[in-house]
Amino acid sequence: MSSHFLHLFKSTVRVVTDTIQEVKDAGIADAQFMNMDDMAEIAEWPNVDLIGMAQFSITFDDHLIDMTCAFGVSPYQDRQLLRHITIMDRLVDKLKPMATHPVFHADTGDKLGWMKVTNGTTVRGMERTESRPLQFIVASFVTSLTYQL
């Protein structure tokens, strides 16, 4: 029996990678995905616009699974933050309350269910670092996935 952790993680990555593809297709930025928990030193991040995620967590409660994640945008050399604002606008739209995203099986790609954004999505203030700006959107989800006790 699966805890669904991997399915939810990869489905959340897909929300980000779908956004990256939309941004590329619209000619906004040649952004790349980044697991922002992977590298603590922002100065070591690639010199490109990054869209990613951090602090992925799930909660098991009475056979139900809820999830929370921070979605980050960090442009590179974006004077006046025009690309940043446009990317954030697209990502906020995907993470507004009641937005629903499919949950896919991590290996087969089959649809397993859905994850729906709950009330309380928060756009955090801009974090300033020595090398680049970084801003997170924190969203929580209820899912249709269940597990056996």
How far, in Å, CA of 15 to CA of 59, rounded?
A: 20
Q: What is the mean pLDDT of residues 117-143?
A: 93
Give the mean model confidence (pLDDT) for residues 84-106: 97
Query: Amino acid identity, residue 56?
Result: F
Is the Cα torsion angle 67, 89, 39, 30 positive or negative in sign? Answer: positive
| Token output for 106 | 């991590």
Q: Residue 149 has what pLDDT?
A: 53
| pLDDT at residue number 43 | 80
d(CA 55, CA 128): 19
| DSSP helix/strand/coil, 22 | helix
Task: Tell me how many helices (H) and strands (E) the chain has.
Answer: 2, 8
Residue 111: pLDDT above 90?
Answer: yes
**What Å distances lie between residue 66 and 15, 56, 81, 108, 143, CA to CA?**
16, 11, 33, 22, 6
Residue 7 near residue 145, CB atoms below 8 Å: yes
pLDDT bin (cut points 50, 70, 90) of residue 48 is very high
pLDDT band of residue 77 (cuts 50, 70, 90) is very high
pLDDT at 129: 79
Domains, the chain: 5-146 (3.30.2000)
pLDDT score at 138: 98
3-state secondary structure of 118: coil
Q: Kindly report the pTM of this predicted structure.
A: 0.93
